[in-house]
Amino acid sequence: YASRKNTRVVVVGGGGTIGSSTALHLLRSGYTPSNITILDTYPIPSAQSAGNDLNKIMGVRGRSKVDMKLELEALDMWLKDELFKLYFHQTGRLDCASSNRVASLRQQYQQLVDAGKGLENSNEWLDSEDAILAKAPVLDRNRIQGWKAIYSRDGGWLAAAKAINAIGAALEAAGVRSRVSGAGSFKRPLFTSDGTMCVGAETVDGSKYYADRVVLAGGAWSPVLVDLDDQCCSKAWVYAHFRLTAQEAAAYKGSPVVYNSDVGFFFEPDENGVIKVCDESPGFTHFKEHQPYGANAPKRISVPRSHAKHPTDTYPDASEKSIRRAIDTYLPRFNDKELYNRTLCWCTDTADAAPLICEHPRWKNFIIATGDSGHCFKLLPNIGKHVVELLEGNLADNLAQAWRWRPGGDTLKSTRGAPAKDLADMPGWKHESVA
């Protein structure tokens, strides 16, 4: 194995969450900056990345042992790492449930307490409306009747695009090579003449980048670029924004992130008084006939359609209803606010909601790093460290096992409440711009 100094790595999707983190950890591990090449259609933070967002949720949920370990490691970095700590707003996080969902929320709380990581110190079970209102006085008592909640003091929100941007600045300052547009858009891997070993990547403008390792961190575009044997199904989730006056915003400053799987979630206003609201849904697919590299014929694939390329697209009429419902539940005094920047945001789901991070089974040195399943932004500070471990052949067994190549299973439903619906059946979102 060549030394870190001499190993060349191409990161496809280097402008997004997993890709930028990978490039950062290559740099921090002593790889020579000019031997690291990040390719992306857009400059970092890539306008097509789900991470290119006002905010994302931070919290330790610990659904599995592996998740718990990664989330705790990430938390430590969000709190202490000089590059990341500016972007963590530790407002706390409220995970709420009512009626038939209370039992599973209670179980989630017990799991946190039983993990043996001291999480009983940062998590609190809130058994009444009063207890919930004490943590989030901005909520309306009439709208939270019968709710219970977990309050996590170590949760909050992440200034997502700003954090990726900070990685981009660090990469650029160090001299990491970056290519965008046609020169940054992946077309295919390059191989040795026997076709078994990847030696680089070609982009749509015909440029060829030779490397010892190629990492495909294409997010929701990964299954479009390379045949992943149906292990990832890309889906869109939705959000919208509205603006508060300075006076209105003051009361919401420091409010925890409030989440309820029947409703959605919202964040405290940013420094400009902007609140982002999300509904919760199983996501929307966008199936098309498409032939990713490595497939021997076209197949049905959910192909993202980005807001960056289609800025006049919004979201389905049904989403307007569910976003309005979330506002009415959480922020009823703002029911009449005008919404703007209604957007589809693309992630890619695996069947079991664990990422897909492994070497391609037939293409040596071609590494897949995708399948975030909507839960990886919180791992921005550390996910790339483990991609580098994989590159170097020393990824921990439990991570390698969770992230292995594993065809089969239902990616359309994944671990969500229902299978995704297709955007073809959801009117209202598609708006062709008039040039």
Using rule CB under 6 A, residue 374 touches ligand FSA: yes
Stretch that binds ligand FSA, among 55-63, 127-135, 246-254, 336-344 (CB under 6 A): 55-63
Which parts of 321-340 interact with ligand FSA (CB under 6 A)?
A: none
Which parts of 254-283 interact with ligand FSA (CB under 6 A)?
A: 278, 280
Stretch that binds ligand FSA, among 56-64, 156-164, 179-187, 334-342 (CB under 6 A): 56-64
Alpha carbons 165 and 15: distance in angstroms, whole number: 9
DSSP per-residue codes, 5-47: GG--EEEETTTSHHHHHHHHHHHHTT--GGGEEEE-SSPSSPT
Alpha carbons 177 and 360: distance in angstroms, whole number: 24
Stretch that binds ligand FSA, among 57-65, 185-193, 330-338, 379-387 (CB under 6 A): 57-65
Whether the Cβ atoms of residue 30 and residue 5 lie closer than 8 Å to each other: yes
- Least Å distance, CB 61 to ligand FSA, is 6
Alpha carbons 63 and 66: distance in angstroms, whole number: 8
Compare residues 39 and 149 and give the one whose CB is closer to ligand FSA: 149
Tokens of 227: 């045949």
Using rule CB under 6 A, residue 347 touches ligand FSA: yes
Compare residues 149 and 367 and give the one whose CB is closer to ligand FSA: 149
Using rule CB under 6 A, residue 70 touches ligand FSA: no
Compare residues 266 and 334 and give the one whose CB is closer to ligand FSA: 266
Q: How far is CA 268 from CA 35, 55, 260, in A?
A: 41, 10, 16
3-state secondary structure of 395: coil
- Least Å distance, CB 136 to ligand FSA, is 17
The residues, any chain, with a CB within 8 Å of residue 321's CB and separated by 6 or more, are none
Compare residues 19 and 59 and give the one whose CB is closer to ligand FSA: 59
- Least Å distance, CB 291 to ligand FSA, is 27
* β-pair type (257-260, 340-349): unpaired
Compare residues 61 and 241 and give the one whose CB is closer to ligand FSA: 61
Using rule CB under 6 A, residue 316 touches ligand FSA: no
Whether the Cβ atoms of residue 379 and residue 68 lie closer than 8 Å to each other: no
Which parts of 227-246 interact with ligand FSA (CB under 6 A)?
A: 237
Whether the Cβ atoms of residue 230 and residue 311 lie closer than 8 Å to each other: no
| Cβ neighbours, 10 Å, residue 3 | 9
Alpha carbons 344 and 89: distance in angstroms, whole number: 24
Given candidates 177, 307, 342, 375, which one binds ligand FSA under the rule CB under 6 A? 375
* 206: amino acid identity, one letter: G
| Cβ neighbours, 10 Å, residue 118 | 10
Tokens of 344: 């589809």
Stretch that binds ligand FSA, among 54-62, 202-210, 308-316, 393-401 (CB under 6 A): 54-62
Q: How far is CA 70 from CA 33, 357, 391, 403, in A?
A: 26, 14, 18, 13
Compare residues 330 and 363 and give the one whose CB is closer to ligand FSA: 330
- Least Å distance, CB 241 to ligand FSA, is 15
Compare residues 278 and 367 and give the one whose CB is closer to ligand FSA: 278
Using rule CB under 6 A, residue 57 touches ligand FSA: yes
Q: What is the binding site for ligand FSA (CB under 6 A)?
A: 57, 59, 61, 237, 278, 280, 347, 374-375
